[in-house]
A and B are shown apart, each in its own frame.
Chain A
């Protein structure tokens, strides 16, 4: 296991917002293993918190275990394939666990959660997502949305029924077409991308992306990137200044340096000498 806490700086911030009484978002960061998880729960009373809480706690724990497990019989050709497998398996496990709780306990019936999680390994980031929680990337001057929502609105945009500019005015913003824990099986969307030193990754719940124009998220990140925690807090505060209609959560990950996890023969030899 390679410790990534020097290669990656992480910060997070979450708030119930200005309207909601409780926070159904959950998040966790683990810079050492290069993991960040964010989930936006839904369901009555505190069921949303339960669903997002299960997802985050389970993925955090299980990914840590899976990465520590170096069973050679399960060795993948590359760390990225391994990251993809780990996230796929753990998202499925979280899905089953939430689904089961919802079936067993009537007060949790119908609960579910979105999920966006990133796992950094070998100069790549693997992102798994379900629903409308997003991953953005700031690289140089360009700030881009990496994930595509699983939402009715996104499908309307894709089919050309509605333009991206009009989407901000849509009344169907809140309808997700995929969620963790509502069906026995879930299809997790997983992709991997090359990372570069200087990249900043932003994971957020829709309470951020619906409230603040993308250009302002970009400028805030750009202005405050020297202090990642301040940037995260500032983004949450800005969402609240815009009205804070929903719970708002942000995770920021800054890539400080390259992080090859495949130790070359030379370094393996060197560590053998020690």
Chain B
């Protein structure tokens, strides 16, 4: 469950769990997160939460909303973003990303179309309302109410989720009136956890390398292998490609009746890993592969 840690001048005032589809922030009493400060508009901003994603929207406030120092109208919140409203800081924490087991990565699940339409924010106020401003009321009734600390109603579209999540042997159909806490234990965490989020990191690169042409008109020229794919040769005649992969460089035949050779041995259709000072011969031109210092 994502949450907001609310602070002013470095002093933490409160923590708010984003249990509702729409959490409103503003000065007026009906807001879920109430900030009693004149710099804050009556209805200042809202956070829409759909499963594990939260979106912040400024509701046309007078003094604006910033995220990590940049003014925003709409913003897709990322873990540890700092939202600033007046002198109040709301830090967005969503640790689910680092908690999911690697095996849960991006398991595809189906969301029924009928439920998607229902996912538009429309939830009425529910327990979980917070009031901030007066230190004496920093933990007001609504928030200390035990019902507010249990997960709120499941977002209205989640009931239609089916598909395989977690280790349960068969997919589970979740009926619309079933609260999340009543789900089989294997399914509930999987629904909440979702996949991990970081986009795929760029693969590691091997140490830098280059080839030097040894024969022919371009003899002496050096070519740094800085791209993942470097093609050599003449299109339509003979082409080979050197691929850069996390664990090294490989040469593969691409086209042409003749296959290139490495250290005098002809390649087959398979890639061949290159080692320091290997000699590649392609269309009668010899070149040397070598690792660059540093």
The finding on whether chains A and B are genuine partners in a shared complex, rather than unrelated, reads: yes
* Nearest CB in chain A: distance from B30 CB, A: 23
Interface centre among B52, B113, B161, B253 (most CB of A within 10 A): B113
Whether A171 contacts B110 in the complex (CB less than 8 A), given A110-B171, A162-B55, A182-B162, comes out as no
Contact across chains for A246 and B171 when beta carbons are under 8 A apart = no
Given A44-B164, A226-B254, 12 other A-B residues pairs in contact with their CB atoms under 8 A = A19-B103, A109-B170, A169-B197, A171-B195, A172-B52, A175-B108, A175-B109, A177-B116, A178-B110, A216-B228, A230-B254, A243-B201
At the interface, yes or no: A174 with Cβ under 8 Å from chain B?
Answer: yes
Interface centre among B50, B163, B255 (most CB of A within 10 A): B163
Q: How many residues of A contact B (CB 8 A)?
A: 59
Taking the complex as formed, is B150 at the interface, i.e. its CB lies under 8 A from any CB of chain A?
A: no
A224 at the interface (CB under 8 A from B): yes
Name the contact of B50 in the complex, choosing from A47, A172, A177, A238 (C-beta under 8 A).
Answer: A172
Any A CB within 8 A of the CB of B231: yes
List 15 A–B pairs whose Cβ atoms lie within 8 Å, in order of A's numbering: A19-B102, A47-B170, A106-B170, A110-B173, A112-B162, A131-B108, A155-B116, A171-B53, A172-B194, A174-B106, A182-B163, A183-B112, A206-B108, A238-B228, A246-B105
Give bound CA distance, A183 to B200, whole Å: 33
Q: Is the CB of A234 within 8 A of B243?
A: yes
Interface residues of A (CB under 8 A from B): 19, 40, 42-45, 47-48, 106-107, 109-112, 114, 131-132, 152, 155-156, 160-163, 166, 168-179, 182-183, 206, 210-212, 216, 219-220, 223-224, 226-227, 230, 234, 237-238, 241-243, 245-246
The reply on B169 being an interface residue by CB < 8 A is yes
- A177 vs B236: C-alpha distance when bound (angstroms): 45
Residues of B contacting A131 with CB < 8 Å? 108
Tell me whether B133 is interfacial, beta carbon within 8 Å: no
Q: Is the CB of B194 within 8 A of A174?
A: yes
**Is the beta-carbon distance between B243 and A174 smaller than 8 angstroms?**
no
Q: Cβ of B105 and Cβ of A175 under 8 Å apart?
A: no
Question: Which of B171, B197, B203 interacts with A111 by CB under 8 Å?
Answer: B171
**With an 8 A cutoff between CB atoms, is B172 at the interface?**
yes
Asked whether B76 lies within 8 Å of A163 as measured between CB atoms, the reply is yes
- A234 to B229, Cβ gap below 8 A? yes
Name the CB-closest residue of A to B230: A223
